[in-house]
Amino acid sequence: MQFVRLGRTGLQVSRIALGAMGFGSPTWRSWVLDRKKSASILARALEHGINLIDTCDFYSAGESERLLGELLREMNARNAVLIATKLGNPTGKGPNDRGYSRKHIIEAVDASLVRLKTDRIDLLQTHIWDPSTNIEEMVEAFDFVVRQGKVLYVGGTDIPCWQFARAICHARVNRLTQFSTMQHHYNALWREDERELIPYCRAEGIGLLPYSPLARGLLTGAARRLERITERARTDEYANLWYGRPADTTLIERVEKIAERLSVKPAAVALAWVFAKAPEAVPVFGATSLFQVDEAVNAISLVLPDEDVRLIDEAYLPRPGGGHF
């Protein structure tokens, strides 16, 4: 396994991170893995040397965290990995059971620690962004849980660049804990963060954690894309929301032709493209089979020729809206 430094932190993390949204309960999403299958995926990731596992208090209504904590304890692997989790999405019916108020942040951290069966969260991140967030209150609450020793590093997810810059500036001026990472939507089919967020993070030394590097499976091959043969593909509302333009199909087909010429899987080309465009980034991938874990790790060694990177880049059509917001 290759390891890279996560932004300006002292952390050395595996070149790729495992997303645990698929761990938990099928009652939350039909494609979520049960305990036995989740354990096999986690064990294979650890065998490969993956040391960053990303979860969230929202996934399977907390079951993802609970299962991950139990499995790491059973495998005696807690100190071998970095646990990244997120907060912000609703965890209850009350109006304060979500978002980034001081109240919710402190309560959510305590609840996650119990579920994860650990004494600290290595990386605490925001999740789905609320544009009305009080930036100063959020930053100060994150600093508070770090000073308590419950959290080691903090990061954001899909925060608009101008609000993220405000958070960085408020922390810096007031000598509070600054964001160390940004988890963001990035793949060959979605490159909107190249406008502002990625350049800003690079300038500030923020570690990049691109999620959905395979475009929710659309960059894994024609059979899955056209026939939607997996349960995840059939039930994924975001895939239809974010993708599906004629230009997307053209780009997908180009990735598949490159994969055929290089005698590799399309998923390997898609991941290699991310590594080529953002060498410092640590893509977060999800897996529902051991083969997918192996395939993702093997893609680390694939160096995509510059000409192929250019062919993929040229097929991209920017979105007028510029992103999710």
Residue carrying the six token digits 């009652």: 27
Rounded Cα gap, residues 253 and 29, in angstroms: 29
- The angle formed by the CA atoms of residues 188, 162 and 151, to the nearest 5 degrees, is 85
Q: For residue 8, what is the enclosing H or E element?
A: none
Alpha-carbon distance of 233 to 235, in angstroms, equals: 6
In the chain, the amino acid numbered 169 is C
CB count within 10 Å of CB 311 equals 16
d(CA 191, CA 194): 6
| Residue 200 falls in the annotated catalytic set | no
User: 3-state DSSP call for residue 213?
Assistant: coil
Catalytic residue among 59, 100, 153, 243: 59
- Provide the angle, in degrees to the nearest 10, between the axes of the packed helices 306-314 and 246-262: 160
Do 155 and 115 form a contact (C-beta atoms < 8 A)?
no
Catalytic residues: 59
